A and B are shown apart, each in its own frame.
Chain A
Amino acid sequence: MSAEQILQYIFAGITVGSIYAFVAIGYNIIYNATGIINFAQGEFVMLGGMIAYTFSQYMPLLPAIILAVIITSAIGGLIESVFIRRMKKNSVLGMIVVTIGISILLREASLYVWDEQIRALRFFTGSEISSVNIFGARISPQVLWVLGVTIVLVIVMFLFFKFTLTGQAMRACSENSRAAKLCGIRTDSMVNLSFMLSAGIGALGGCVVSPLTQTHYAMGTDLAIKGFIVAILGGLGNATAAVAAGILLGLIESFSISILPMAYKDVVSIVILLVILLVKPSGIFGSVQASSMKDY
C-alpha cells in the first residue's frame, strides 16, 4: 500500500467513523438521562437526511438542514412524551424494546412518505467530482465538512454539559434524579430534552454524511447497530470516548476492506462488539468501577 492509499483509507475510515460517533453520542445522551438504549437512534439519522433532502428541493441547503434538525428534534421529543413517559413504571428493558418498536414505526412511515428510492443531499461545497488534495490523497471536500461538524459538535457538547445550567442539570438528573428533583429540576423535561437533543444530533449527522453515503429509508438499522458497537466500545455514557471509538471502528472497517472481502466489513465490527462484551464490558475508555454501578 502506498502512503497515499493509506491516507485515503484513513479519511474514508474517519468519515464513516464520524457518523457512527453521531449515533453513539445520541445513545449516550439518552442513556445518561434515562438508562435506556434508544434503538431508534439510527432512524433519526435517516429522518435528518430525508427531511433535509425534501426541503432542499425548495430552498438553499443551510435552512433545509436547520429545519430538518429542528423537525427531527421535535419528533424525538414527541416520542418521549407519547411513549417513554407513559412507560415509566416499566423496566428499562421493556423501554428498550419499545424503542425498537419505534424504530420500525419510523422506518415504515418513511417508506410510506419517501418510498424506497435512495436519495442524497447536495454536496455542501463543490460536487461529487471535486476533490481536495491532502498529502497526495484526494478526498472529497464533504469529508472535511463531516470532520469539521464532528469536531464542532464535540466541543459544543462539552461546553454545554460543563458550563450551562441546563447542561449541568441534565448531568445532575443522570447522577441522582431524586436529588435533582429536590433542587427543583424538572426531571421529566430533562429526559424530554435529552431525546430532542439526541434526535437533533442524529439528524445533523444524517445531513452532513448524506452526500457521501446517501440516505435510504432502511439505513437506520445498520447505523443503530454500528452506533451501539461504538457506544459500548467507548464505554456507555461517555460522549467524548464515543467519538474516539467511532473513528477507531471506522478506521478498522476501512482497513479491513483492504485485506478482507468487502462483505466481511460488518463481520469485523460485530466480532469487535463480542470481544469487548466478553473481555471489557465497560468499554476501552470506560472505568470498571463506573460501569459496575450501572443497571446492566
Chain B
Amino acid sequence: MLRIRNLVAGYDKLKVLKGITLHVKEGEIVTIIGANGAGKTTLLNTVASLVKPTSGEIKLNGRDVTGLSPDRIVRGGCALVPEGRQLFPAMTVRENLTLGGYTLFKRKRRNGLQLRLNNIYELFPILKERGSQLAGTLSGGEQQMVAIGRALMAETDLLMMDEPSMGLAPIIVKNIFQVVQSLRDQGKTILIVEQNAKAVLEIADRGYVMETGSLVMEGRAGELLNNNDVKRAYLGRDYKEFTDR
C-alpha cells in the first residue's frame, strides 16, 4: 500500500529524516514510535506532501507520488489526521467534516454526502449532536474525533494519524484506539505515529522505532512490546527490573 525508500527530508538546511525506508501492507495498523523530535511528524507531513522531500521515493498503491501536491496525495488515496487536530475552528462540525470530502464532492456535487456523514456519526455518535456547533468550541476529545472524521470523509485506503492521543484523557484515548481497530477491521490501512507507545503497540500489528531521523528497529507489535530496549526507552514499564538487577 505504502512504500517509502531512502526518504530524506527536512526544513531548509536542517535534515530531519535521514533515509527512511518502510512499508505498510494493506489492512495493517503500523505504528511509528519514538521520542519528541525524532522526526515522526515530519515523516507523515512528507508523505502528505506538506514537506517536500530532498531525495527518496514514496509509492502509494504502486504509484510514485513523491513530490506531488497535497491534493493529489489525497486523491491518490492517503489522508492525514494532523498533529494537534488542526480543525477549522470557526466552522461547524458538519462543515469541517464536509470539507474532509472536498476532493470527492468537488467532482460529484455532494453525491452521498449525507451517507458519508452518517458513517462518521455512527463511528462517533457524539458528533451528530454537535453537528451545528463551531468546531473550536468542542472538547479536546471531540475535536480529535472531528479530525479523524474529517480525514475519513475523503474515503482513502490509507489513513495516517499523528499523535491522536495527545492531550487526551486515558479513557478517550482508549475509545479512539478502539475506533482505529474497528477501522482496520473494516479494511482500512492505518499508519499511526505515537508517543504513547504502550497503548498503540497493543492495537498495532507492526511497529517501527524512530530515533533522530532514522528507523532503528522494526518488528511485530508484540515483539516490540516485550523488547527490553523498547521497554527501557519508551514504555517506562518495570523501571526497577532493569536498573536494580
Contacts and interface: CB of A to CB of B under 8 A. Distances in A.
B90 A175 contact: yes
Given A183-B100, A184-B75, A171 B91 contact: yes
A183 B82 contact: no
A176 B102 contact: no
A185 interface: yes
A182 B91 contact: no
A186 B69 CA distance: 9
Contact of B88 (A165, A179, A184, A186): A179
Interface in A168-183: 168-169, 171-172, 175-176, 178-183
B95 A179 contact: no
B71 interface: yes
Contacts of A180: 88, 99
Interface residues of B, number: 28
- Most chain B CB atoms below 10 A, which of A165, A169, A180: A165
A171 B91 CA distance: 8
Given A183-B150, A184-B71, A184-B103, A168 B91 contact: yes
Given A182-B70, A186-B71, A176 B98 contact: no
Contact of B70 (A165, A168, A181): A181
A179 to B, nearest CB: 4
B74 A165 contact: no
- Most chain B CB atoms below 10 A, which of A179, A180, A184, A185: A184
A114 B80 CA distance: 53
Given A179-B88, A181-B50, A183-B154, A168 B95 contact: yes
Interface in B72-121: 74-75, 79-80, 82, 86-91, 95, 98-100, 102-103, 105-106, 110
A176 B87 contact: yes
Nearest to A188: B69
A222 B110 CA distance: 43
A169 B90 CA distance: 13
- Most chain A CB atoms below 10 A, which of B48, B106, B110, B154: B106
A169 B99 CA distance: 7
Contacts of B69: 186
A216 to B, nearest CB: 40
B95 A183 contact: no
Given A168-B98, A184-B75, A186-B71, A176 B88 contact: yes
Nearest to A175: B88
A182 B75 contact: no
A185 B154 CA distance: 11
Contacts of B102: 165, 169, 183-185
Interface string A139-173: 00000000000000000000000000100110110
Nearest to A173: B88
B120 to A, nearest CB: 14
Contact of A179 (B75, B82, B98): B82
B44 to A, nearest CB: 10
A160 to B, nearest CB: 14
B190 to A, nearest CB: 16
B74 A179 contact: no
Nearest to A162: B95
Contacts of A183: 74, 99-100, 102-103, 150, 154
Contacts of B99: 165, 168-169, 172, 180, 183, 185
Contacts of B74: 182-184
B135 to A, nearest CB: 9
Interface of A: 165, 168-169, 171-172, 175-176, 178-186
Interface of B: 48, 50, 69-71, 74-75, 79-80, 82, 86-91, 95, 98-100, 102-103, 105-106, 110, 150-151, 154
